Structure 1
Amino acid sequence: MAMLSSVPSVANAHGWSEFPSARQNTCYEQGGIWSGTPPNAACAQAKDISGSYPFVQRNEYAKNVQDFNNINAVKAAIPDGTLCYANDSQKRGMGAPHTGWTRTELNTGTFEYVFNATAPHNPSFWEFYLTKPNADLSKGLAWGDLDLIQEEGNVPVNGGKYRINVTIPSDRSGDAILFVRWQRDDAAGEGFYNCSDITIAGGTTPPPEPGPEPDLVRGDLFVSDQFGTPEVGDTVKYDIINKYGEVARSFDIVIDASNVNDWARLLASEINGWHEEFKDGAIFIGDWHAEMQHYMYFQNDPSRNFFNSKDSRASGQLTLIDGGDGGVEPLKGDIYELVKSDNVVNAGDKVVIATSEAATLTQTQGSSVSIQNNGTASIVVDTTGITANETLSFMASSIESDSVETFTFEVIADDGGVTPDPDPTPDPDPTPDPGTWDSSTTYLGGEVVTYSNQSWKAQWWVQGGTNPKATYENDKWGVWRPAN
């Protein structure tokens, strides 16, 4: 992973084919690039070969060719088999032979090609290539596989996008690769090369409608392949772990005959609904649906359901509690707030934790509060001493058996609207407090550090490497950039 900050950039290329989506962008959007395995087999193979670097550097598929008007010089710089990664050895996984790349469906005729330019460059020109009908897509892409179908001159950028009407010949159909060359007209000869995997059908392709972009960071699968199969009587518990490694909130569902085959959807619905109501959608179980342009839970495809959060450091943890004859029966109970519901109370409220058996309550997280009637089946928690927003957790242990249960709720402090919000539940737009940069520390995207009397913001995961100032001076679009 440290290579993200130590591998030198061969060019200052910035952008990717957005529609149809470039290979590296599609893998990035599908997730699994940091932990676990990408859901697409071709992307997973690319990660095995090249790690996360090709996805994180999705806007830098480029090569400098000074004699760029000489196509033979371009082909010599980017030989057969390297076209889809611009002959950058650190990204070679993106050009490895595989038939499983996710494809965008296009119709013959004219469509609107969209290039997301994170750094527009003009003057420049464009070349659009399409694989020949007899091209073997199971092999690495070669120049001999391509037909040049269209050329465009200098195209103005609009709102950070280049938009070009491109025509797919009417005699083409089936799987293909659209290979796009965007060439700067400058002394360095910087050119950008993107492979978009497509399937061609007949008719007319409408241009993509503009819409919202995903605003959450994808994490691990909601239900992993290693998770067991719940049975009637079991309890499935899902903990939201905040950026400090603490349990911010817990959700659970008791498995019975009515939900044994549908518990995952019901549990996800509870998690999503609560966060929509109280946390402005800071967490969502499911995935972004590009065509519908919103997040959704995929009931019939568990491989599409991930933990998505506005804080990349948050996570979720699913636990199966055995309710069989040989296990310990969970302590049944509930939380009753005297003022508010949904496990959110105001500071000063008294909270009643009612259990099915007499129990002792031990606080496991948060500022110390008063616990009354401890040792009974109706225990009262007094939140008068809470002065700032925080999450409290308690462990209830039955006096009559070995049963235990965890109870978690949030306390909202009210001081006229000026109280800082240290709420450990993932914030909609967290801003980390700056700390001094340390080469031995691991930083995640969005974290801010100080170096040389200036604040610097990490754009992605990084550990070690050159200091932020030198990194930025070498590459304005590298991992470290000024925070303000």
Structure 2
Amino acid sequence: MSKQIFKLSSILTAMYFIVPTTAQAHGWVEFPEARQSICYEQGGLWTGNPPNAACAAALQESGTYPFIQRNEVAINIQAPDYLDQNIVKAAIPDGSLCYANDSQKSGLGIAHSDWTRTEIAPGTFEFIFNATAPHNPSYWEIYLTKPGVDVSQTLKWDDLELIQEYGDITVGADKKYRMNVTIPADRSGDAVLYTRWQRIDPVGEGFYNCSDITITGDEQPPVDPDLPYLNKGEQFIPSDISINTPQIGESVKYDVLNQYGEVHNSFSIKITTDNQLDWDRLLASQISGYYETNHSGHVFIGDWHAEMNHYMYFRDNLHANYFNSKDERASGVFSIVAEEIDPQLKAVITPQALQEIEIAEVEHGTVVVLHPHNTQGEFDSVQWAQLSGPAVNVEQGLYSELMVNTEQLDSQGEHELSFRLTVSNNEGSDSSVYGFTVIGEEETPEVPPVEGDWDADKVYVEGDTVTFDGRTWTAKWWTQGEQPGTTGEWGVWR
């Protein structure tokens, strides 16, 4: 198997460094702020005197629980049912939308005219979700009440229209999801912005928030003054392909080509019973989400919506979506890939484990999570084995990820650990090695005396210190004739 070395900056595709948290995703809409968070921040809940009349009524209905649990206005709809909007509506019936049909939080859904409102002008604004426990993969749906809806009454599904969708979005270092949301230019007055954040996993936990807003009627300038700002290309899905064309076990693939016809990036989804009727939206979300996160949204799958003044994916019209790109010379190619079957053995081929990654450094006390998610091909079993370093106790998660808590190691010095991942099926197995270095707590080092200017003819040993080019350098081992500054980050001179 060929080996590829990944740079430390991209190591997160295979390894995540996190502190211990609950496995559940949590959070609330920070802007425009969700009503349960506004009531919490305004105070008065524990003295029974909230300054806002709607918050006071909600407190009388449900007590303090909805506000203490402001990051858990959620419901679990198991996969694949959360992909069926009719099942979602049945699980969260009319009148219960603002509290996700959790009877203990029903105060958040009471009819009232005094909910505190955030003023927002028509046009595009930055929507912010405060994720106290982020979770990916997931997707987003943003709704707005239709014109003429009485927002002082309880919210119903027929009151809403979908104005924005996003697929998997990378959470920021501040644990906040940020995305552009566009309020239609012709809207004004009081409204409710309704947010759905849905995890893509077997449990299917989804978060539902009501943000009370007033649309001021003063249109904001668009993000780009020359809208639509992308060049429209070919259909995303060719007209001879229907939603039922790809068969279970096959994969749908989309290659994004640069101006030279070279593959810039490839995206694929394997067709299963869970996604058989939604593969197009999920594939489009992968593509648009990647380019939104990594390339300033220079590629989007969908089409320009003139009335809403933004790009969107038309989920109920397969062939109404197109490849849109900043570079008019770029293009996209859709294909269906047959299930990988050995033509002689008629069996699934041997899986390929993740390729070996470059050793990374983590701080002492970090929980290191090693994932086998990018393994190529189907596999029946996953095994982890420690190859080097001090023996550590590990845990294996629900999705076969290995969790190593480095707190158990000596806090002083460096510890190099490595683990072998083995994936296998009936046709064979494959292995790969993950390695990382745990950096101990810093001690105040003894600064060795400077030996003087570096001399190419002189022999230096570990700990010798010289000056060169206005900087001080320390030798990490025996060296002669190697000029400081030319040996790299991990070379003899540091």
Asked if Structure 1 and Structure 2 have the same fold, meaning a TM-score greater than 0.5 normalized by the shorter chain, the answer is no
TM-score w.r.t. the length of structure 1 is: 0.40
